[in-house]
Structure 1
Amino acid sequence: MKFTGKKYISLVSIIMLLSVLLVACSSEGSSNTGKSSSSDGDKVTSEGVKENVILGTHPQGSAYNSTSAGIAKVLSTKSSIKASIKPYAGTNAFFPLVDDGQIDMGLSSAPDLVWGIKGEFGYKNAHKNIRTLVIGNYPPTNGLIVREDSGISKTADLKGKRIASGYAGNQVAQSLVELHLKSVGLTWDDVEAVPVASPTAGLEALRDGRVDAAMGSSPLTAAAIETDAAVGGLKVLNIADVSPEDFDNFPEEVAAEIAEGIPGTRPFVYQGGGFVEEPVIIFEYPVILNASTNMSDETAYEIVKTLFENYEELHPVFSWLKEWSDKSMFEEKPPAPYHPGAIKYFKEKGLWTEDAEKYNEELLQLVN
C-alpha cells in the first residue's frame, strides 16, 4: 500500500506523537530505579557512586591499554560501576583531563605521577588534584631495542644511528631513551633523532625501517610482540652495556642517574618472557591507578573495594595484572596522595598506619 500526500503526512505525525509518548513513559518508568543524577548530569546510584566512569590509557596495543581494559572489565562485572577505557597518546595527554574531572581515572607510571603533579618535563601545569587509588604492578620496561638483523649488538653501537625520539604524549619513554643512551656516554647530539608520537609509533618506525632503534615498551606488549614477528626478531640492548651475568657490578652512578632521572625507576635483570628469550638488563617502575579530587569519595571507595576483593578476576586478562593482589595494591608511600575514598577502605581493612597517615599528609602539603 502506498501513502501519498495528506495520508503520508498524517502517518508521520502519528508516528512522531507515539515516539514522544514512548520517551515520556520511559522517563517516568526510570524515576523509581533508586538512582539519581549529580549536579553536572552524571548518574549516580542511591549510595552516591557514579554509574559510568572513563579510564584514560595509552594507545591500543600497549600494555597499559590491555591492563586498563582488564580493570574496566572487573569493575563493570563486579560492581555497580560501568567502566570504559579511552586511549590517548600517553599520560601527558590524558593527565590534565583526569585532573579537572573531564575523565574519571588514569593508569599511569609512578614517574608520570610525580612529574604531572609538579608540572615538570612534558607537563605544562602542576596537576595538584591527582590522587592515588591503588598501586599496580612493577612492569618490565625495555630501554632501546633494534632489529635482530641490524648488526647492532650493544648500545654504544648506536652512535650516528637513527633513534626514535620525542614521544609527544609520553615523557617516560623519552626519558628512558635518554638515560639508556647516557648509560654509555651518548647524548642526542651523538645520534639522529627521529620524532615519533608514542612508543607504539616508535615500534612501527622500527618495523618500517625508518629508525634503527626505538624504545621497546614492555616485552609483553602486543605491539612489541607483533613487531618482533613482523621483522624476524628484535634484540634488546642491555642498559650500560652490562651483561646480565655481571649485574652485581652494575655502575652505581648509572643506577643513581636512572633513579634521579625517572622517579621510582631502577635497572634489573629480566629473565625473559614475551618476545624476549634470554636474560637482559632493562628498567622497572610501578604503575598507578589514579583519579582526582573531583571523584566522589563513594565512587573511589567502590573502585578500590572492588579491585581488592576481586583481584583474582584480573589475573587471566593480561600478564601485568597477574601481579595485582590485595597484598600489593596498597603501599605506605605512594607517589601521589591517596584519595580519601581509598583511605576509607584501607582503614576498614586495617591497612592504614600512622606512618601512612604521616607520609600522606606530607604529600598533601607538597601539592597544596
Structure 2
Amino acid sequence: MMSGYSRRWAFGAFGAALLAGGPAAAEDIMLPDTMMWSAYDVGSSGYTEASAVADAMIKEYGTRIRIMPSGTSIGRLLPLKTGRVQYGWLANEVYFATEAIYDFAAREWGPQDLRVLLGRPAGFGLGCAADAEIESIADIKGLRVSRIQANPSVNIKVEAILAFAGLSWDDVEVVDVPSYGAALRGVVEGANDCAGGVPTAGIFRELEASSRGISWPPLPADNDEGWTRLRGVAPFFSPAVETVGAGLSDSNPGYLIAYRYPMITTYAETSEEQAYSLVMAMVETFDMYKDVNAVMPRWNFETAGQPPADAPFHPGAVRALKELGVWSDEHEAWNQNRLQRMTAVQAAWDAAQELALDQQIAGKDWPAFWSDYRNQNLQ
C-alpha cells in the first residue's frame, strides 16, 4: 500500500447494481491523506458545494481537505498552477486559461493544459435588486453594475448579458469591486443594482430576504436577435430555464444562460489513478451530500459526467465514467476534438512567442500581438 494515502473499497450500492448487469464499476479508491482545493470566495455557490463534498469525504475516508477561497480567476488558478492545490472548483476561467485569453494572455500564463473531472450544469444571470424595478435587460441602462477585478469568467458573462439588449459596459455605471463576493454583497448593501452570479449563491439568498428583494431580468430563448448578440460576445452559452435559487421556483423560473459551474479541474499531469479515485469517491459519497441544498442533486454522475465542458475530461475521469456506463462514443469524439483544439492553441502560442522574439515585441505589446496572431492563425 502506498504511504500517505487513505484506502477504502469503493463498492457501495452503485457498484453492486452495476455488477448485477455487467463488469465491476470500481477498484480501490485511493485519496491523499490531505488535499487542498481552490474555489470561489465564501458565500459563493461553488464554495458551498465544495464544502459539502469535502465534508462527506472527510467523514467517509478520513482525508483532510482544506478549501482556499478566492474571488478572482487568477486567485483560483495560480495555486493550482503552482501545485499548492490539487483541484479547483472553477468556472469559465477554465476555458479562458486553455485558450490563453483575457488575463491568461499574459506571457507568464499562456495556454494551460487543464482537464475536467466533473461539472454540474448551472444557470447564470444578473441578480438585481427588485426595488430597482428592472423588468428587462434593456432597463439596466444607466444603472449600477458590478465588474470584478481579475475575474474575466464573471465579467464576460455580464458583458454578454448586456449585449443581449444591445448594451455594453459603456451604457451602465460600472462599480469595480475586488471579488465575486463583494460584487454580490454590494447589491445587498445598496452599493450597486445588479451583479452577475449563480442563483444558488448564499449572498443572493440574503438579497432575496432583504428589503431590496431580488429579480432576474430574463433572456428569453425565443429572442433570436438577443441571443445572436449575446453569442457574439461569448459563443459557448445557451439558454437555460432555472428553477433553483434565490427568487426562483417551478412557478417562477428564471430565463438565464447555461454553462457548467463548478467544474472540478486539475492539470493533465495529475495521475489517472488520482483523478479516477476522486470521481469514484464523489459517486460513493453522493447520498451524503446530495440533500445539502436544492442544486446538489445535479452532481449525480449521469449529469455532471457529460460534455460539453470548458476543457477535455481527464483520462482518469473518462475511465470512471466508462465504468459507470455514461461515457458514450459521442462524448469521446467531443473530448478528442477539444484536445485537438488545445494542441492547436498551444502550438500557436509557441509559434507566436518565437515570432515576437524575432520582431523584438516588447512585453507591454505582447497581449495585442498575441490577439492579432490568434485571429489570423486560429479558427
TM-score (norm 1): 0.76
Partner in structure 2 of residue 189 of structure 1: 170
Partner in structure 1 of residue 49 of structure 2: 67
Paired AA for residue 76 in structure 2:
F
Partner in structure 1 of residue 110 of structure 2: 126
Q: State the 1:333 CA deviation.
A: 4.4
Q: State the 1:105 CA deviation.
A: 0.4
Paired AA for residue 221 in structure 1:
A
Q: State the 1:129 CA deviation.
A: 2.6
* Contact 1:162-1:211 within 8 A present in 2 as well: yes
Does residue 6 of structure 2 align to residue 52 of structure 1?
no
Name which of 198, 203, 209 aligns with 1:229. 209
Name which of 93, 113, 122 aligns with 2:75. 93
Partner in structure 1 of residue 280 of structure 2: 305
Paired AA for residue 264 in structure 2:
L
Name which of 191, 209, 216 aligns with 1:210. 191
Partner in structure 1 of residue 230 of structure 2: 258
Name which of 261, 271, 274 aligns with 1:296. 271
When residues 148 and 361 of structure 1 are mapped into structure 2, their CA distance, relative to the original with a 3 A threshold, is closer
Structure with larger Rg: 1
Does residue 185 of structure 2 align to residue 198 of structure 1?
no
* Contact 2:244-2:295 within 8 A present in 1 as well: no
The 3-state SS of whatever aligns with 1:78 is: helix
TM-score (norm 2): 0.74
Number of residue pairs the alignment of both structures matches: 316
Name which of 284, 287, 291 aligns with 2:258. 284
* Contact 2:298-2:304 within 8 A present in 1 as well: no
Q: State the 1:62 CA deviation.
A: 0.7
The 3-state SS of whatever aligns with 2:304 is: coil
Instruction: Give a deviation string over 1:234-268, Cα, whole Å, max 9, x none.
Output: 222223xxxxxxx46x2223224434533542233
Unaligned runs of 5+ in 2: 8-27, 344-379
Instruction: Give a deviation string over 1:62-87, Cα, whole Å, max 9, x none.
Output: 11111111121222233363322110
**Is the deviation greater in 303-312 or in 50-59?**
303-312
Name which of 168, 174, 190 aligns with 2:155. 174
Paired AA for residue 225 in structure 1:
R
Q: How do 1:327-346 and structure 2 match up within 5 A?
A: 327-346=302-321
Aligned partners of 2:99 and 2:300: how far apart in 1?
A: 29
Unaligned runs of 5+ in 1: 1-33, 37-42, 240-246
* Contact 1:100-1:129 within 8 A present in 2 as well: no
Aligned partners of 1:190 and 1:332: how far apart in 2?
A: 35
When residues 189 and 296 of structure 1 are mapped into structure 2, their CA distance, relative to the original with a 3 A threshold, is same
Partner in structure 1 of residue 366 of structure 2: none
Paired AA for residue 191 in structure 1:
V
**Is the deviation greater in 259-268 or in 311-320?**
259-268
Aligned partners of 1:353 and 1:160: how far apart in 2?
A: 48
Aligned partners of 1:350 and 1:117: how far apart in 2?
A: 28
* Contact 1:92-1:171 within 8 A present in 2 as well: no
Q: State the 1:273 CA deviation.
A: 4.4
Q: Percent identity?
A: 22
* Contact 1:332-1:355 within 8 A present in 2 as well: no
Q: State the 1:144 CA deviation.
A: 4.6
Aligned partners of 2:35 and 2:6: how far apart in 1?
A: 13
The 3-state SS of whatever aligns with 1:231 is: coil
Aligned partners of 1:59 and 1:202: how far apart in 2?
A: 11
